[in-house]
Amino acid sequence: MSDLDDLGVNPLEDTESEAALAYAEERRENIRTFVRTSPDYYIRNFDKIGASSRFTATFNLMAGLFGPIWFGARGLWSWALPFLILETLAFVQIARGLFGDLAADAMARIASIEGTLELRREQLAAAIESNSEKIDVYRRTVESLEENIGGIRAEAETLAAEGPMIVLTGIIILLIAKAAQSLVANWALEARFSDWLSDRSVRSAMPVTHIVFSAVFMALIVAAAMLHYSFPGRFSLLSHFPTDPDIRLTSISWVEDFIAWCVRNSEAFFDGLTFGIRALLDALEVILVQTPWIVIASLIVLLTWLTAGIRTAIYSGAFLAYMGLLGFWEGAMTTLALLGTAACLSIVIGIPLGMFAARRPRFYSFIQPIMDFMQTMPAFVFMVPVIAFFGVGKPAAVVVTMIFGGTPVVRLTVLGLRGVPESVREAAISFGANKWYLLTKVDLPLASPSIRAGINQTIMLSLAMVVVASLIGAKGLGEDVLEALQYANVGQGILAGFSILFCAMILDRIVQGGRK
C-alpha cells in the first residue's frame, strides 16, 4: 500500500499532491487565456462553481450593468437573446409610462364617434324643424353617442393615470433581469469554458469587434421597440416594411411569363407523362373498382393475414365491411387506385434515387433542399403550376400527391444505407463480394427496415392528400369529405373520414406487419 493509503487519505481528494498542484496551475493558466480580463476574479469564481455539480450563484457586476451586451460579447447568445427580450420589455414599459400617449387609442375612438355625433345632431335639428316622426329616434341616438363619448373619455383618463404604474412595472422587470444576469453570468461562462477546453475553436475572451457588434445590435433592438410602442403610428418605417407594390406586380408577371414559356415548350413531354400516369391509374382502377368486391376484399384480408397475422386480418375485414355497408366501397377503391399510382411511382423513383445518393454526399446535399421544398411548401401552392402543366384531373392529383409524399422514401433509404456498419461491408469485400453482391446481399437487407419505414411514410403522406387532391378532379373518398365541407354535412364528413383512416390502417399493417 502507498503512503497516502497508510495515512488514510483518498488520492482523489488530495489537493496537495504534485499532480493536483500541476493540474490546478494548468487550469488557472487556461482560465487566464480564456477570459483575458480580470483573470483572478474568474479563477476564484470558476473554482467555486466547479467545486459543486449544482448551480452555484456568484455575482458579476459587469454582467448586471451591461446585461445582454456582456453576454453577446462573451459569445453566450443563448443567454443574451432571452435577457434582451426581458430588458426590451422593461425599457418599453418605462418609455410608455414616461413619454407614451396611453390614451391615444381612446381619443381616436372619441374623434370617430364625434363625427357620427355631429351628423346625428344635424339630423335631429332637421327633424325638429320639419316636425318629423323620427325626432325621438335621433334624440336617443344622440344621447347614446354622448354617453359613449363620456365613457370612453373616462377610460382615457384612467389609462393616462396608469403611467406611473407602468413605469414601476418596467423598473421591477429591469431589476429582476439585471439581478438574474448578475447571478448566472459566471455559471454560464464557466460552462462555456468547459466547452472551450475540449474544443479550442469555441470563441474566448471579448474581442473589441464583438463588443461593438453586440452593443450596436442590442441598442438598435431596444431603441426600435421603445419608439414603436411608445409612439405608435408616428414612425411608419417601424410599422410597415418599406416596399413598393410594383415590385410584387413585376415579380408576378415574371413568374407567369416563365410558367407560360415552360408550358409552350414542354407540351409534348407533359402530354407523354400524363398519358403514362393515366395508363397506370386506369389499370389500377380496373383491378380495384371493376373487379368484384368479394375478390378484392378476400385478397386484402389474405394479404393482411400473411403479413400481420390473423387478428389484424379480422380487423381489416371489419374495416372493409364498414366501407361497403356505408356505401364507400367504390370511393375507397378509387382512392386506393389513385394512392397506389402515386405511391408506386414515388417508390420506383425514390428508392433508386436514395440508393444513388447514399454513397454520394454532394449529390444528396444538392437534392436535400429540393426535398425540403417539396415537403414543406403548402399543397395549394404547388397545385397551381401542376394544374398549368397537367390540367385538372386525376393525373394532376397523382403528381401533387407524389410531390408531397415522395420524399420520405428517399430520405429513409439514404438513412438506412448509411447506417449499414462499415465492418460488415468490409468483411463482405474481404471475402470477394463485388458491388452488386454487396448491394443486394448486404446493404439492402440490412437497410430494409428503414426502407420499409420510408415506404410506409410515403403511403401515409399520400393518403393525407386525398381531400386536397379532390379539389383538382380526383374522385374517391376525398370527394365525399369535400362535399361534406361544402354543405356542412357533418355526418357524411365524419363517416368518410373514418373510411380514409381505415384505408390507412390496412395499408400500414400490410407494409409494416412483417417487420413488426
Could you read off the pLDDT of 79-91 as tens digits, one per residue? 999 999 999 999 9
| Burial of residue 434 (number of CB atoms within 10 Å: 0-12, 13-18, 19+) | exposed
The pair phi, psi for residue 406, each rounded to 5°, is -90, -10
For 333, residues 6+ apart whose C-beta sits below 8 A from its C-beta are 285, 288, 289, 296
Cα 346–chain centre separation: 25
Between 74 and 104, the more confident residue is 74
The answer on pLDDT for 514 being more than 70 is no
Contact (CB, 8 A) for 448 and 416: yes
Supply the DSSP symbol for 2: -
Q: Give 303's pLDDT tier (boundaries 50, 70, 90).
A: confident
Percent share of the chain, pLDDT over 90: 20
Q: How far apart are CA 502 and CA 508, in angstroms?
A: 10
Q: What share of the chain is helix, strand, coil (3-state, %, to 5)?
A: 85, 0, 15
Q: Residue 130 is placed in which grid cell?
A: 320639419
367-368-370-374 Cα dihedral, nearest 10 degrees: 130
Quote the pLDDT of residue 3: 47
Q: Give 95's pLDDT tier (boundaries 50, 70, 90).
A: confident
Longest CA–CA span in the chain (Å) reads 120
Q: What burial letters (b/e) apply to 124-161, b meaning 16+ CB within 10 Å?
A: beebeeeeeeeeeebeebbeebeeebeebeeebeebee
Q: Residue 503 is placed in which grid cell?
A: 384505408
Question: Average pLDDT, stretch 45-71?
Answer: 89
For 506, residues 6+ apart whose C-beta sits below 8 A from its C-beta are 300, 304, 316, 319, 320
| Burial of residue 181 (number of CB atoms within 10 Å: 0-12, 13-18, 19+) | buried
Question: What pTM was computed for the model?
Answer: 0.68
Q: How far apart are CA 465 and CA 401, in angstroms?
A: 6
Q: Give 144's pLDDT tier (boundaries 50, 70, 90).
A: confident
Q: How far apart are CA 21 and CA 467, in angstroms?
A: 72
Question: Which of 230-239, 248-257, 456-465 has the lowest average pLDDT?
Answer: 230-239
